[in-house]
Structure 1
Amino acid sequence: MHEEIRIHDKRILVRICASGISVLGSQFFVIAIAVIAVQNVGPVGFSLILITRAIPRIALLIFGGVVVDRFGPVRLVAAAEFLSAAISLSLGLLSLITVPKLSLLLLASCCFGVIRAVADPAEGAIAPYVLANEDLPRYQGLLLGVQRSATVVGAAAGGVVIAAGGVAVGFFVDALTFAVSGGAVLGLRHVAASKKGKGADRAGLWKEARAGLQLVWSNRLLRSLTLLALGMEFSLQGPIMVGMPVLCMDRGWGTRAIGALLSCYSVGSIMGSFAIASVGKRLTKVGVAVSIILLPAGSCLAVMGLTFALPMAIASMALIGILSGVVNSLLVPLLQTSCDRAYIGRLMSVATLGVSGLTPLSLAIFGILIEVNGPTSAFVCGACGLGCLALFAFSANRQASGGWNGLK
């Protein structure tokens, strides 16, 4: 018999809050690295630091999922948080003595990339190990809401604190938040151990990774949900991140409008995530809800690109944020409950890898589209993409046995 805990258990609430604290601290780290890079190694050096972190993370994500399925997510997340804390603490102590050299920053960045290749799928796999399935939407809504709130607060606080205390303080804050998060995760280790599945068959890393990819592609429900999540990411990221700033300048709204629109999107996504946290247990027709929500999201994206009134654009961006927050808070639990726990780490690694690869591709494609046809075309194309995804979701939901409603 395994220990059953629910969303209101204090260990779950501590884990969610600690995750938000860790995300807040990560903003301090990003700002500290940016300050060092701009002042001492230049923009090319800063780009190298970012690339050095991204490449090992993307290259090793699939294998990271295998490691999660072999050893379970909780201890891996805790180990990743404590290792990250040690790296940030070392950089902070070094910054008190001298300015870290580019070679050392590159090494630290590469280590973080390797750590995240395991930690990212492990964090996505924790909830199915410790919670009842019907609590997963509420957990995901709370987690996303807290993490996005921490991103907004951390970016603002990090700039002020580092400006006053220096980059070493930024590294120390990051190390402290990593340690807090790691300690909170360890509080779930006994629950996760009691619910541990059979684990991955020891057939070699590559064969196990390929088995995970084959599972996602051969299972109609997993394939549909994964494609839907990736399609939504592709349709939104390009118009919002590339098209929106260009649209503001094209309409004569100015740079303040860029900040206002991005803030509305962030606040909206936080509200959407917390909305699922409050009503998630009462949801019964999840697949139908996802299909329906994508249609107004696409309509708002089209309005955003066609309107010349800033208040209308602000309202549309806020609604897009709310609806995307709702959909993201529903799709992840659907993925988690549609997969055997023995493969959950590999499933999360495939989803994370897809988002990591599609985001820059979306930015590049929509950037070219804007250059050729202007910013309105990006929003219209993104809206058409969301409309097609709504039809795809409705069709896939009808074909699925029992629909996408089985958070049981």
Structure 2
Amino acid sequence: MSATLIATGPVTGRPAHRDPNVLRWLGAYTASMVGDSVYYIALSWAAVQQGSPAQAGVVMAVSAVPRALLMLGGGVVADRFGPRRVVIGSDTVRCAAVLAVAALLFLTSPGLWPLALLAVVFGTVDAVFMPAVGALPARVTSRDQLARVQGMRGIGIRFASIVGAPLGGLGVAIGGAAAAFALAGLLIAVSVPLLISVRMRELPADAKADALGGAGDTDAAAGGRGPAPGAGAVIAADSEARGAPVPDKADARPASPVDDLRAGLRYIRGHRVLAPLMLAIALGDLGFVGPLNVGLTLLADERGWGASGMGWVLSGFGAGAGAAALLLTVRGRLPHAGWLAGCSIVAGSVAIGALAFVPSVLGAVGVALLIGLLAGLSGALCGALLQTQADPAYLGRVTAVSSLVSLGFAPLSMPLSAAAIGAWGTGPVFVGSAVVCGLGGVVALCVRDLRRAELPG
């Protein structure tokens, strides 16, 4: 167990997939993610019913603006107030907002304005929810189980994507958008009592002061033990050994949120593993998102596969990603994590480029299965390295930067990919995207500290 964590309850020594505390967290996370999937189905259906297709598109996209603008600040909030408290508050707000819109749609036809307002609220709350979700695993289990938890989280995401859409469609079929919104709200509500029952691991006071200028973390359960004498020196030595910059204690003034954000960015920039890892993640996502979203749709249309063929290809990708998550869940640790992540990104980029040249649906499904396996493996390993390399007091801000790259910048490649395919065709664009994605793997393999990074075992 890392010297930067102190448990507030007894340590069972169980692997994460057999730990009731971790399973309660996983149940809460999965219920919230399924609720999100149902929410997006309900929102898209209601927006189309209440306005034109163009207006519906605006409603669907409007949540991205506050999420991108506020994400870094959300990381500060998660680190200042504790990830559990932030996630509970976020889910409560999202549940109340969704149920309020459901009631409004049951009683009247209010037009697009409440849907647009709901999308803005969701995007704003997501800006704090996502960094807190990323920081929470390090507070519910020991450091040597974080890789396994990352795999379990991947399984939860796959489950939500498979179950959420049919549930949303069923809700719409039974009672329209109002019923689907109500179902989404109830699913999100399930996560709140589960999260309340999750035991937390307290950060030592010295670690909190180093990371937040003395701002306290009130997330731990009552009665948790304080840090052992000399914990600050142990934390500093642990940070230095992992390539992290040691915070400067010369300035003891309380830090403002802006100071906290700057401290988090300096921490990432000065970290010998996290800094190149962020670059590898950014390049990998930029090269992956376009081809596997809008690019696949245009490729299926060009080849005459139709919607069913595209669905089979997406199923192949989902099966591969799910298998990778299951592998990490069962194994708990894979050796040579940094090297393996880099190799997986490079190999996955080759498969992305090859997808554009596969003539049959069956062949495309096989290639997509390989892409899903490699992308799922590299994504899980990169996520696990983020969790284990970052000091827990900085995890909210570290996750915020990673989420901003993946959810704020990478989607910008979708309209660019569509325009490029219109100008040059699918083959050159898929190959170009594969090169960008592969550069992420090259970074991981060329930077010594990242290449040699290991997961705790």
TM-score of the superposed pair, with normalisation by structure 2: 0.84
Task: Evaluate the alpha carbon distance shift between residue 151 and residue 186 of structure 1 in structure 2; reply closer, same or farther with a 3 A threshold.
Answer: same
Alignment match, 2:179: 169
Please give the root-mean-square deviation of Cα atoms over the aligned residues, in Å.
2.0
Alignment match, 2:422: 371
Deviation at 1:21, TM superposition (A): 1.8
CA distance in 2, matches of 1:258, 1:309: 11
Task: Evaluate the alpha carbon distance shift between residue 120 and residue 104 of structure 1 in structure 2; reply closer, same or farther with a 3 A threshold.
Answer: same
Unaligned runs of 5+ residues in structure 1 are none
Alignment match, 1:246: 298
Q: How do 1:151-230 residues align onto structure 2 when only pairs under 5 Å count?
A: 151-188=161-198, 190-193=199-202, 197-198=207-208, 200-201=212-213, 202-230=254-282
Q: How do 1:8-407 residues align onto structure 2 when only pairs under 5 Å count?
A: 8-188=18-198, 190-193=199-202, 197-198=207-208, 200-201=212-213, 202-281=254-333, 283-396=334-447, 398-400=448-450, 403-407=452-456
Counterpart code for 2:177: V
Counterpart code for 2:169: G
CA distance in 1, matches of 2:40, 2:434: 32
Q: How many residues are treated as equivalent by the alignment? A: 404
Task: Evaluate the alpha carbon distance shift between residue 84 and residue 124 of structure 1 in structure 2; reply closer, same or farther with a 3 A threshold.
Answer: same
Q: Once structures 1 and 2 are overlaid, which stretch shifts more, 315-324 or 163-172?
A: 163-172
Deviation at 1:155, TM superposition (A): 0.4
Deviation at 1:194, TM superposition (A): 6.3
Task: Evaluate the alpha carbon distance shift between residue 178 and residue 260 of structure 1 in structure 2; reply closer, same or farther with a 3 A threshold.
Answer: same
CA distance in 2, matches of 1:111, 1:245: 30
Counterpart code for 1:301: I
Task: Evaluate the alpha carbon distance shift between residue 102 and residue 386 of structure 1 in structure 2; reply closer, same or farther with a 3 A threshold.
Answer: closer
Counterpart code for 1:271: A
CA distance in 2, matches of 1:406, 1:138: 10
CA distance in 1, matches of 2:440, 2:123: 32
Deviation at 1:231, TM superposition (A): 1.2
CA distance in 1, matches of 2:72, 2:375: 26
CA distance in 2, matches of 1:186, 1:94: 29
CA distance in 2, matches of 1:256, 1:50: 24
CA distance in 1, matches of 2:37, 2:182: 12
Kept in 1, the 8 Å contact 2:47–2:55? The answer is: yes
Counterpart code for 1:192: R
Deviation at 1:93, TM superposition (A): 1.7
Deviation at 1:406, TM superposition (A): 4.3
Kept in 2, the 8 Å contact 1:303–1:313? The answer is: no
Counterpart code for 1:50: M
SS at match of 2:273: helix
Task: Evaluate the alpha carbon distance shift between residue 224 and residue 88 of structure 1 in structure 2; reply closer, same or farther with a 3 A threshold.
Answer: same
Identity level (%): 30
CA distance in 1, matches of 2:89, 2:130: 12
Kept in 1, the 8 Å contact 2:138–2:146? The answer is: yes
CA distance in 1, matches of 2:85, 2:45: 33
CA distance in 2, matches of 1:382, 1:33: 31
Deviation at 1:133, TM superposition (A): 1.4
Task: Evaluate the alpha carbon distance shift between residue 163 and residue 377 of structure 1 in structure 2; reply closer, same or farther with a 3 A threshold.
Answer: same
Kept in 2, the 8 Å contact 1:28–1:174? The answer is: yes
SS at match of 2:52: helix
CA distance in 1, matches of 2:204, 2:42: 40
Counterpart code for 2:170: V
Kept in 2, the 8 Å contact 1:334–1:407? The answer is: no
CA distance in 2, matches of 1:274, 1:143: 10
TM-score of the superposed pair, with normalisation by structure 1: 0.93
CA distance in 2, matches of 1:298, 1:42: 38
Counterpart code for 2:430: F
